[in-house]
Amino acid sequence: MGNAAAATAEPSALLKIETSGAVLTVGLNRPAKRNALNDGIILAIQDCFSNLPDGIGAVVIHGIGDHFSSGLDLSELTEQDATAGLIHSQMWHRVFDKIQYSRVPVIAALKGAVIGGGLELACAAQASSSPPPITAPRSAAITGTRLY
């Protein structure tokens, strides 16, 4: 299940990236979709973490609007065979690995919905913070993931 058509979207429209001193803030910029993830935004995140500017000491990932991320954008799914689905999934996991093993600490600033792929994105960060309440599946408590 992929969303290759969305991968052509302009990366600058999908992420709002700002620098304040040594901190790079990366805003997921799809508030009308509760910052649902698609290939385009995942590839923009990959580009961002592959090209961190010198002098950056930390990255904060956050959602523009009321939600961090509602997960996979189901409206952009396409039918695929099992092999294509696996390859697609591995691409997303490689991007999450770039966050998890980044050369600088990554903090996920959580609010509102933090579901599915959005929770995976948050878990790739080394730390997270949120004002209560957030919407996260029970599995976060079961796996011991600290969300706030």
For the chain, what are the domain ranges? 4-143
Could you tell me how many helices (H) and strands (E) the chain has, helices first? 5, 7
Q: Is the pLDDT of residue 147 over 60?
A: no
Q: Is the pLDDT of residue 28 over 60?
A: yes
The pLDDT of residue 135: 58
Q: What is the pTM of this model?
A: 0.81
Percent of the chain with pLDDT over 90: 67
The pLDDT of residue 95: 97
**CB–CB of 139/94 below 8 Å?**
no
- What pLDDT, in 10s, does the model give residues 77-101? 888 889 888 888 899 999 999 999 9
The pLDDT of residue 79: 85
Q: Work out the average pLDDT over 65-73.
A: 95
Length of the chain: 148
CB atoms within 10 A of CB 57: 11
**CB–CB of 53/19 below 8 Å?**
yes
Q: Work out the average pLDDT over 118-134.
A: 86
The pLDDT of residue 130: 79
- Determine which of 35-39, 103-107, 130-134, 144-148 has the lowest per-residue pLDDT on average: 144-148
Q: Which two tokens stand for residue 47?
A: 């580009």
The pLDDT of residue 17: 96
Mean pLDDT of the chain: 85
CB atoms within 10 A of CB 22: 11
CATH number of this structure's domain 4-143: 3.90.226.10
Separation CA 36–CA 55 (nearest Å): 30
Locate all alpha helices (DSSP H) within the chain, ordered by sequence.
Answer: 11-14, 39-50, 82-100, 117-124, 139-143
Stronger pLDDT, 129 or 46, i.e. the higher one: 46
**CB–CB of 31/63 below 8 Å?**
yes
